[in-house]
Chain A
Amino acid sequence: MNILPILHTGKLILITSSHETREQITVLTAELALRGAVTILDGGNRFAAYQTIRMLRRRTHNIEEAANRIFVRRAFTCYQMLTLLENSPSLQQPYIIMDMFATFYDENVQLKEADRLLDRCLVQLDRLRLTGPVVITMKPHPDRVFLFERLLARADHIFELEIPYPVISQMALF
């Protein structure tokens, strides 16, 4: 998956997968940090800071300078995710929103409330992409597919990561 060529201001890029996308995001973050500032809004508390630094080390000698261009904010509830988006300034740099809906899948948040909060989040996403590209990763949830569908309708590019199948090898007879 190489999304760098399509990473332009005004674009909303959605990466969906039924399994972890952490590795891909780590690579993307490191690549972006080599070029300029990037902000991660983390909804699943899964941002891999150490792996990102390791990734940077493979690409540059000036690790600290590149690392200081990566900014992180975490949300632990869907209300905080909305606050994060509302408080994020419109910058001429990419935003990566990891596991955007992880907090929206909380069973204590009613469907209607999740939908209402998403409405407000979408407004903020539209604002942010006016000045820089926005990449969102998410894992669809069977009980809250509408969240995925609404974001899908908004996205300019969609990547669906496949689950890597294990290598099939013939079993020994004995």
Chain B
Amino acid sequence: MSNELHGWLLDILPNEQGLTIWILGEDGKRHALSHDFPIAFYAAGPAEQLRRLWKWLQQQPENPKLSREERRDLFAGSIPVLAVELTYPSDLTPLFNRTSLEFPDLIYYNADIPISLRYTARYGVFPLADCEIKIDPSGYVTDIRSTQTAWEVDLPLPPLTILGLEPECDPFHAAPTKVFIQTPKARFSLDLEPARAFMIGLRAIFIRHDPDLLLTAWGDTWLLPKLLQMSKETGIDLPLNRDPDQSIKHREARTYYAYGQVIHRGKQVLLAGRWHIDIHNAVMYHDYGLEGVWELARVTGLPVQTVARVSPGTGISSMQIVTALKEGVLVPWHKQQAEHTKSIMDLIHADMGGLVFQPTIGLHKDVAEIDFISMYPSVMARFNISPETILPGIREQNTDLPATSTEQGLIPKTLEPLLKKRIAIKMQLLTMSKWDMRYKSYKARSAAHKWLLVTCFGYLGYKNARFGKIEAHEAVTAYGREALLRAKEAAEDMGFTVLHMYVDGLWVQKKGSNKVQDLQPLLDEILNRTGLPIALDGIYRWISFLPSRLNKNVPVANRYFGVFQSGEVKCRGIELRRHDTPKFISEIQNEVLEILARSPDVEHIFEYLPKIQSLIDGKLYDLRHQRIPLEKLIVRQTLSRPINEYRVPSPAATAAKQLEEVGKFLRPGQTVRFIYILGVPGVYAWDLEQTLDPKTIDVNIYKKLLDRAMETVLQPFVSIQAQPFLPLLVSGAGD
């Protein structure tokens, strides 16, 4: 006789007897269920070594079940492996660690796969999925299935309880004295001192609300360690974990090199039975918020509090692992495949990246921007590009592009549903009012999908990707270049002038083509010639492609600003987009662009220049008279190396050194905040505890920064104003 439970999957945790499955029941209760879940890893190699391994494993206390099986390696095809099955998932890591030390020369598979991914692959359930669960009388799950798939566009969110905790200020800047608490219905603060009163108050809040998600600011790096320490000192137990059988997990801070930059991840505090997300230690949280986190958990299968902290690359890699497990493909512990031999000429042809066609410098009106939708993922899906499908050294007869096999590859299989979901959401967003209740959620989820898809291409060439291969990475760019060239040819055949091309986008202009419907035939033709979806990003009233700062005759790719017909401003590669630009500068540049956007057309822009001049004069007056809040003058820069490795101390290194002197240490990849001041050393670290006298601000440096930002956005128009024959100077459509 079994019972049935209906609810949402919250978490999956290994325990000593199997798994604990946390469910938020439709009855509103949180259920901790047990589930037997035997798992296996595999070893491959010479038969003699496998025999030795077999004998050795028989002596191990975990008592694994051993068998010889035929399994599919993605590259080598079906291979004989020794399957090592364990009754309890928690036994796998210790046994595997000992095994790999004892038999290091064997090739291992499925050795380090997160348990949630194995569970997702086996039962088709995923975090936040609506599930039907069968339970036997002893409380063990006998079956679990989801009533949804992660690929449905509208997945309702379970009724989660969220508790917010936020210290009053950045603990790195100054010592907080109180903590703001956000319950489902109220916001209030508790003083950190006296500690006993604080802990009693917080404990009561925890017990009363029993949150599913603890959403904190600086929770990983300061607040939760502080709470644990206070709990120890006062002897008042704080039920941070919901699962009493599990301990709180800590992960150390780390710095690593990825995506061409040094990245720092702060230490982490992970809870069991409920989630903890620190908004300052969550990846891309500023971009897609909680909605994006929920979506990533659904599509990747990673636990909510894990997916919030890992890079999108780990997310896409998890999706590939789930696909591999479902398809019965082995997941290698270490990628072994190396590049095939290329001649130097082949290398030059293959290793070229995206195609860029430098812009025509200057101001242009009635320009349409068209972009391939998720170009590289679409290329992978459409042309079946995957590490195992690339046929080395063979090229397609008609196109001379890298040839691929016909059976659908692992990567296209993984990407296809994600691409479909992204396109479905994008299509809905095109017609949806911004006031629609779903708009923000769709936008956030679309952003989360975008990051997964963007990194998917990079991961094909990433050294640690399980299913990466450099030839596949190169093939994607080769197909991308071909698609962009075909799009250019299509545009030119239809009478358009191509002003700029950048990897997956084109800026085109044609006399009389300044309405959405005028562009549709071009979009259809490009789709026809390339087979890839393409969309109109918008039509600019005017757009300015900017030259190099060093040489005004040299164009710079992807550095422009312009105003769409809707009045919306779009800019790339200018100060406003840079993270190290002080707010004071970026806000003024933004205001100037907004003023320019008010002009109905490019010919009337000069009428707005006096207004801009008065704005700049006013801001400079405020700067000289210390009326700008100091926070707006902060420059943020990321340290790229340890401070002692800077040969010439940059302003960032100097500020970091000032912090070190007061015991505040920063590691490479962390951001240092500083303000330019008069005298030596010229900068003042913002996180020093003394208050900065506004009179010491180096006004000239900020003025220089402002001049530069204004030159970027005004130079095209100031030169126009000086000319008597304005219309002739503006590259109008068809002029």
Give the B-binding residues of A (Cβ under 8 A). 39, 47, 49-50, 52-53, 64, 67-77, 79-81, 83-84, 87, 103, 108, 113, 116, 120
- Chain A residue numbers with a CB within 8 Å of B461 are 76
Q: Which chain A residue lies CB-closest to B256? A: A107
Interface contact B343-A73, CB-CB below 8 Å:
no
Given contacts A73-B341, A74-B339, contact A49 B104 (CB under 8 A): no
Report the Cα distance A50→B352, complex, angstroms. 12
Contact A72 B341 (CB under 8 A): yes
Min CB–CB distance A122 → chain B (angstroms): 14
Instruction: Tell me which residues across on chain B come within 8 A of A67, comparing CB atoms.
Output: 343-345
**B50-58, B191-199, B330-338 - the one binding chain A:** B330-338
Decide yes or no whether B342 CB sits under 8 A from chain A. yes
**How far in angstroms is the closest Cβ of chain A from B661?**
26
21 contacts between A and B (CB under 8 A): A39-B341, A50-B348, A53-B344, A53-B348, A67-B345, A70-B344, A71-B343, A72-B343, A72-B347, A73-B338, A73-B340, A73-B342, A74-B338, A74-B339, A74-B470, A76-B470, A80-B338, A87-B338, A108-B464, A113-B104, A116-B105
B345 engages A72 (CB within 8 Å): no
Q: In the bound complex, what is the Cα–Cα distance between A39 and B342 (angstroms)? A: 9
Chain B interface size range: 20 to 34
Determine if A77 and B344 form an interchain contact, defined as CB atoms under 8 angstroms apart.
Answer: no
How far in angstroms is the closest Cβ of chain A from B105? Answer: 8
Question: Are A80 and B337 in touch, CB under 8 angstroms?
Answer: yes
Question: Contacting A83 at CB < 8 Å: which of B336, B342, B463?
Answer: B336
The docked-state distance in angstroms from the alpha carbon of A73 to that of B343 is 9
Taken together as a complex, chains A and B put the C-alpha atoms of A71 and B348 apart, in Å, by: 12
Knowing A49-B348, A74-B470, say if A79 contacts B340 (CB, 8 Å).
no
Chain A: which residue is nearest B343 at the CB level?
Answer: A68
A76 touching B104 in the complex, CB below 8 Å, given contacts A68-B343, A83-B336: no
Which one of A70, A75, A83, A113 lies within 8 Å of B343 (CB-CB)? A70
Residue of chain A at shortest CB distance from B462:
A76
Asked whether, in the complex, the Cβ of A75 is within 8 Å of the Cβ of B464, the reply is no
Q: Which label, helix, strand, loop or mixed, suits the secondary structure of the B interface?
A: loop
Given contacts A64-B345, A74-B470, A113-B104, contact A79 B334 (CB under 8 A): yes
Contact partners of B339 in chain A: CB under 8 A: 73-75, 80, 84
Closest Cβ–Cβ distance, residue B369 to chain A (whole Å): 32
- Of residues 437 through 489 on chain B, the ones whose CB sits less than 8 Å from some CB of chain A are 461, 463-464, 470
Q: Which 9 interchain pairs have the tightest Cβ spacing?
A: A76-B463, A70-B344, A83-B338, A80-B338, A84-B338, A79-B334, A73-B339, A74-B339, A71-B341
Q: Report if A52-B338 is in contact (Cβ < 8 Å); known contacts: A74-B470, A76-B463, A116-B104.
A: no
Q: In the complex, A114 Cα to B311 Cα: how many Å? A: 26
Contacts of A77 in B (CB 8 A): 334-335, 463-464
Chain A residues in 8 Å Cβ range of B344: 49, 52-53, 67-68, 70-72
With contact pairs A49-B348, A53-B348, A77-B464 given, residues A72 and B342 touching in the complex (Cβ less than 8 Å): yes
Do A80 and B335 contact each other (CB < 8 Å), given the known contacts A74-B470, A116-B104?
yes
- Bound: A87/B341 CA distance, A: 10
Q: Which A residue sits closest to B101, measured CB to CB?
A: A112
The A interface is mostly helix, strand or loop, or mixed, namely: helix
A151 to nearest B CB, angstroms?
20
Residue among A39, A64, A70, A108 with the highest chain B CB neighbour number at 10 A: A70
**Nearest Cβ in chain B — how far from A46, in angstroms?**
12
Residues of A within 8 A of B351 (CB): 49
Q: Are A79 and B336 in contact (CB under 8 A)?
A: yes
Known: A49-B351, A77-B463. 14 other contacts (CB 8 A): A47-B347, A53-B344, A68-B343, A72-B341, A74-B339, A74-B470, A76-B470, A77-B464, A79-B334, A80-B336, A83-B336, A84-B338, A103-B463, A116-B104
Shortest CB–CB separation between residue B43 and chain A, in angstroms?
16
How close is B345's CB to chain A, nearest CB, in angstroms? Answer: 5
**A79/B342 contact (C-beta < 8 A), A74-B470, A116-B104 known:** no
| A-facing residues in B213-233 (Cβ within 8 Å) | none
Residues in B neighbouring A113, C-beta threshold 8 A:
104
List, in ascending order, chain A residues with CB within 8 A of B341's CB.
39, 71-73
With a CB–CB cut-off of 8 A, which chain B residues contact A53? Answer: 344, 348
Q: How long is the Cα–Cα vector from A5 to B470 in the complex, in angstroms? A: 36
Known interface pairs A52-B344, A67-B345, A76-B463; A83-B337 also in contact (CB < 8 Å): yes
Chain A residues whose CB sits within 8 angstroms of the CB of B342 once the complex forms: 71-73
Q: Nearest Cβ distance between residue A18 and chain B, in whole angstroms? A: 14
Which of chain B's residues have a CB closer than 8 A to the CB of A73? Answer: 338-342
A113 closest partner in B (C-beta): B104
B295-350 residues with Cβ-Cβ distance < 8 A to A are: 334-345, 347-348
* Interface contact A75-B338, CB-CB below 8 Å: yes
Kindly report which residue of chain B lies nearest to residue A52, judged by CB atoms: B344
Distance of B565 from chain A, by nearest CB (Å): 43
Bound complex: CA A123 to CA B581 (Å): 54
Contact across chains for A79 and B335 when beta carbons are under 8 A apart: yes
In the assembled complex, the CB of A56 is this many whole angstroms from the nearest CB of chain B, namely 9
A56 to B, closest residue via Cβ: B344
What A residues does B347 contact at CB under 8 A? Answer: 47, 49, 72
CB closest residue in chain A, given B345: A67
Residue of A nearest to B465 (CB): A76
What's the minimum C-beta distance from A163 to chain B, rounded to whole angstroms?
13
Residue of B nearest to A47 (CB): B347
A34 to B398, CA, bound (A): 34
A residues in contact with B338, CB < 8 Å: 73-75, 80-81, 83-84, 87
Q: How far is the CA of A69 from the CA of B342 in the complex (A)?
A: 10
The smallest beta-carbon distance between B96 and chain A, in angstroms, is 14
Task: Give the most central of A64, A74, A77, A79: most B CB within 10 Å.
Answer: A79
Which residue of chain B has the shortest Cβ distance to A86 in the bound complex? B338
Q: Chain A residues near B345 (CB, 8 Å)?
A: 64, 67-68
Q: Which residue of B lies closest to A103 (CB)?
A: B463
A69, B344: Cα distance in complex, Å: 8
Nearest CB on A from B347, distance (A): 5
Q: Tell me which residues across on chain B come within 8 A of A64, comparing CB atoms.
A: 345
Please give the distance in Å from B21's CB to the nearest CB on chain A: 32
A120: chain B residues at CB < 8 Å are: 105
Determine the chain B residues whose CB is within 8 A of the CB of A103 once the complex forms: 463
Q: Mark B102-124, 1 if CB is under 8 A from A, else 0.
A: 00110000000000000000000
Contacts of B340 in A (CB 8 A): 73
B264 to A: closest C-beta gap in Å: 14
Question: Closest chain A residue to B107 by CB distance?
Answer: A79
Give the contacts of B58-116 with A (CB-CB under 8 A).
104-105
Residues of B within 8 A of A71 (CB): 341-344
- Residues of A contacting B337 in the complex (Cβ-Cβ under 8 angstroms): 80, 83
When distances are taken between beta carbons in the complex, the residues of chain A under 8 Å from B343 are 67-72
Most chain A CB within 10 A, of B335, B351, B461, B463, is at: B463
Task: Tell me, rounded to whole Å, the shortest Cβ–Cβ distance linking A154 to chain B.
Answer: 20
Which residues of the partner chain A approach B335 to less than 8 Å between Cβ atoms? 77, 79-80
Within 8 Å CB of A81, what residues of B? 338
Please indicate the chain B residues that have their CB under 8 angstroms from the CB of A72 in the complex.
341-344, 347
Residues of chain B within 8 A (CB-CB) of A80 are 335-339, 463
Task: Give CA–CA (A83, B348) in the complex, Å.
Answer: 23
**Docked pose: A69 CA to B346 CA in angstroms:** 11
Q: Can you list, as one digit per residue, whether each of B336-379 has a CB less than 8 Å from chain A (1) or not (0)?
A: 11111111110110010000000000000000000000000000
- B342: nearest chain-A partner, CB-CB: A72
Whole-angstrom CA separation of A163 from B440 in the bound complex: 56
Shortest Cβ gap from A59 to chain B (Å):
14
Give Cα A77–Cα B461 distance, bound, in whole angstroms.
12
In the complex, what residues of A have CB within 8 A of residue B336's CB? 79-80, 83
Q: Which residue of A lies closest to B104 (CB)?
A: A116
